[in-house]
Structure 1
Amino acid sequence: MKSKSFTIAIGVALLVVLIIAVRLGGWSTSESSTASPASEQHTLVEVAPVVVGSVTESIQAVGTLEAIASITVRPEIAGVIRRIHFRDGQSVERAVPLVELDPEELQSQVNQAAAEEKMTLVTYERLKRLNDQQEVIVPAQQIDEARMAWHAAASNSLLYAARLKKTVIRAPFSGTVGLRRVSVGDYIQPGQAIVNLEDLSTLHVDFKVAEAWLSRLHVGQQLVVMTDAFPGTAFEGHVTAIDPRVDATNRTVSVRASIPNQAGTLRPGLFVTVRLNVGEDTHALLIPEEAEFLRQDKPMVFQVEERTVRLKEVTVGVRERGMVQVRSGLKEGDVVVRTGTHKLQDGELVSIKSSE
């Protein structure tokens, strides 16, 4: 009886072990089947084809605005300032008086020189008349000396008259005056700065471009300039001159452009960015800007070939409306990775995200 009970207990224990083994085997099989697909998953990427489009080719450069006419008003003679005829920042017309110096001393010299001229003229004419009428024999040398004295006095009179005229300092061209550096009553010396005068109606900017663009530059070419002083505003202009000499040191050519400024918005001295349009390429190869990245300072893309990505170096050109021009390295119809490039390695298999 005991032997029979022992046999039944062993049978029950074996059955329990078998059930546990079967269950463990099922779990292992289930886990293995679940893990297997996970190990086959690849990086999910979004791709874009290389397309043909139109881009405007342009040159980017920097420069500083300058007035087309700009001077510092200075006196030619010394004197005391009697009147100032302008206000700081005022627009003035050509030839209007800006500053008057005290003319009294020079006026006296002009009067004296005029009197001497008249006296020498009378002396010369008297001697000449006496000689012509033969009332008195006048030596020819005396007549010549009288004539020369008259000419010298006349020249002296013109000299003082010119100096007197310089007591009124006038604007040599129409423009806008800056901040005056003198006051009424100041004694100023020749060449001393009084105020700057700028013609703001037209400004120009000088900038440099690489010699490779020389064949595509010409006078009259349109451009735009932008400055941080007026963000988002583009000011149009055109090329007015191209330097005939190429800088042999840095292999660049200097270009000058004119920027109309009738409203006086722009000011001389502003730092500007210049964009010069040199033509339009209607068959440019384009990819999204985010597809291009730098690796070892070289522009790269990941090209997709049968779900395998290949790292390729490209030459890029114009960037416009979120697209970048590819000059070399790809052809029309090639497919590149648009997003997720930072997670990829050359030769890696990828899963392509379907477009919705």
Structure 2
Amino acid sequence: MALARQLFNRRMMWMLLGCLVVFGGIFGFKFFGRYMMNQFMDNMSLPPATVTTAPVEQQRWQTRLSAVGSMRAINGVNVTTQAQGEVKAIYFESGQFVDKGALLAELSALPETAQIEVLEAERRLAERDFKRISALYKKGVATLRELDQAQATQDQVLANLAVQRATISERSITAPFSGQLGIRQVDLGQNVAPGDPVVSLQQLHPIYVDFSLSEQDFSRVKEGQGVELTAAAIPGQNFSGRITAIDPSIDPANRTFLLQATLQNPERKLRPGMFADVAVKVEKFRSVLVVPRTAISFAPYGNAVFIVRPAKSALAESTNNKAVAPSAQAPQWIAVKRFVKTGEERGDLIEIIEGVREGEQVATSGLLKLRNEGGVIINNTSPLPENLNPTPDNS
């Protein structure tokens, strides 16, 4: 019985060893195959990518102070009524351009007009009484008191007439200045009260932009300095103006001060209330290294460019000593990825603060196809534009 049990245990042990050997061989084969596949993929030579290039250039840029501003009309009001009454007539259309003093609307003034007739009758009577008493005074029949009383009565009637005519004129609503009307807010027959808005009126040419700068920049700006403005509502167009007012005080809450610039707006494209990016031109110039914006590969972990160099020099300066698999035809140019620190953007160009040197060639297209130390083919037959103030092609 013991002998049979020993034989059974030996057989089980040999079976377990056999299973381990079989399964170990299978897993080892799979691991070896995967390792060889990874080695093949890592050393596989990729075809070179076609790119366009541009040199890193040094330029002189005028220093600018950037801010966000809000457009404001030179004159802008809601034209309101000064009297109470029914709207009798409307003489304008919404959005119309009007001159100063143009009649916009009239309120009914029947009782006031009738009162004018009463006062005119009193005026005629007062004039006759004054003439008669003046004649009697010259003859010595009337006293000086009677003459003064007749004069006062006549003056009082004339004053009442002037007040009544002013009351009637308040029922004629006119434009206080030349400008563009907004949307009509009253209708014929509507009963309005003093202060009710009739229509908005904006003087759009020229136009103001109000913006704030940090107190650290107070000594760097002065009246007459030029500004450039862009508005998201009017893409692709720049507007120029000059600083016309600087608030003498600093806001203690946020340590900024208010400035106002005036811009010409003959086409009335800029409208009150628009947000705008304002750049104040400071006299100081600085030297900057710039590349086309399309050369920058933006990423959360850092911005980078691909420096295009001859294959031998690029490999020699590589920091990691990877072995490059031989290929049937070695590329003449290689792209080396380099992280950079970017600065100000102007048009199609962007400032590079750190990471490149003047004269180096950077890839400006096909960045998604590039890999570090990968081969490239340069094709600059159609180079990208490098414009400080680009405008869209609407043709």
2:351 alignment partner, one of 299, 324, 329: 324
Map of 2:107 onto structure 1 = 101
1:90 alignment partner, one of 84, 90, 96: 96
| Cα displacement (A) at 1:206 | 0.5
| Cα displacement (A) at 1:249 | 2.6
| Cα displacement (A) at 1:315 | 10
Map of 2:50 onto structure 1 = none
Residue 197 of structure 2 aligns to a residue in which SS? coil
Map of 2:127 onto structure 1 = 121
- In structure 1, what is the Cα distance between the partners aligned to 2:290 and 2:233? 33
Cα displacement string for residues 266-306 of structure 1 (whole angstroms, at most 9, x for unaligned residues): 221112111222134244577998599999xx99xxxxxx9
Summarize the Cα distance change of 1:144–1:316 in structure 2 as closer, same or farther, 3 Å threshold.
farther
Tell me if 1:261 matches 2:297: no
| Cα displacement (A) at 1:257 | 1.1
Summarize the Cα distance change of 1:84–1:286 in structure 2 as closer, same or farther, 3 Å threshold.
closer
Tell me if 1:218 matches 2:205: no
Cα displacement string for residues 122-147 of structure 1 (whole angstroms, at most 9, x for unaligned residues): 222322221121134x2x33332222
2:276 alignment partner, one of 272, 279, 285: 272
| Cα displacement (A) at 1:205 | 1.2
2:186 alignment partner, one of 182, 188, 212: 182
Summarize the Cα distance change of 1:168–1:288 in structure 2 as closer, same or farther, 3 Å threshold.
closer
Tell me if 1:237 matches 2:241: yes
Summarize the Cα distance change of 1:105–1:288 in structure 2 as closer, same or farther, 3 Å threshold.
closer
- Structure 2 segments unaligned to the other structure (5+ residues): 1-38, 43-54, 304-316, 321-339, 364-371, 379-395
Q: Is the 8 A contact 1:55 1:318 kept in 2?
A: no
- In structure 1, what is the Cα distance between the partners aligned to 2:253 and 2:212? 13
- In structure 1, what is the Cα distance between the partners aligned to 2:234 and 2:250? 33
Cα displacement string for residues 4-55 of structure 1 (whole angstroms, at most 9, x for unaligned residues): xxxxxxxxxxxxxxxxxxxxxxxxxxxxxxx9xx9xxxxxxxxxx9986412
Residue 247 of structure 2 aligns to a residue in which SS? strand
| Cα displacement (A) at 1:235 | 2.0
TM-score, scaled to structure 2: 0.61
| Cα displacement (A) at 1:178 | 1.0
Percent identity of equivalent pairs: 28
Instruction: Tell which structure's C-alpha radius of gyration is larger.
Output: 1
Q: Is the 8 A contact 1:71 1:198 kept in 2?
A: yes
Alignment coverage as a number of residue pairs: 291
- In structure 2, what is the Cα distance between the partners aligned to 1:248 and 1:54? 36
- Structure 1 segments unaligned to the other structure (5+ residues): 1-34, 39-48, 300-305, 339-349
- In structure 1, what is the Cα distance between the partners aligned to 2:350 and 2:191? 65
Q: Is the 8 A contact 2:342 2:350 kept in 1?
A: no
- In structure 2, what is the Cα distance between the partners aligned to 1:161 and 1:120? 19
> Cα RMSD (Å) of the superposition?
4.0
| Cα displacement (A) at 1:226 | 1.7
Greater than 3 Å deviation, 4+ residue runs: 49-53, 282-295, 306-309, 314-323
Summarize the Cα distance change of 1:231–1:287 in structure 2 as closer, same or farther, 3 Å threshold.
closer
1:116-195 correspondence runs (5 A) = 116-136=122-142, 138=143, 140-195=144-199
* One-letter amino acid matched to 2:211: F
